[in-house]
Structure 1
Amino acid sequence: MAPPPTKSDQQVASEFTAYYLQRATKEFAEDLDKVRAADDFKNDALQTLISALQQGTAMFSAEEKRMIVTAAAQPARKS
């Protein structure tokens, strides 16, 4: 069986950002709902909030992103 094709750094970064945002929004769902429900939260602030969350991906190296994306793509093992 041939090994799966290697993803480009751009593909890995894109998949990691999607994965990271999914995990962050799940983990902080209650807090994000409170922010969005605040009286001073405007619709144009949503892009700022998304951008702020995306900046969290900068703390991971390219190698860490690739390792996480690869691990997330693996089917769960049955014990």
Structure 2
Amino acid sequence: MSDIPQNLVWRRDEIESPCVQICVIHPETRLCTGCARSIDEIGAWSRMSTEERRAIMDELPTRSPAPAGRRGGRAARLKR
């Protein structure tokens, strides 16, 4: 058995994925409603450099994955 602590075996010096396992792409914004990344960013994440990942992570808080307004609900249906 190795003298390396088990918790260090899988440790990496890369930026972790912002995925929160709520993977739904909004049809208007084309961004994931869970992590706010685009389909292309999600697909390429494992091949991205640390700098590319950091740039995306820095931008995520400014993104709005889904429009804030409501679609109308009952009130909108009654106006028809």
More helix by share: 1
* TM-score, structure 1 normalization: 0.27
Q: TM-score w.r.t. structure 2 length?
A: 0.27
Answer with 1 or 2: which has the greater Rg. Answer: 2
Tell which has more relative contact order, 1 or 2 (C-alpha 8 A, sep 6+).
1
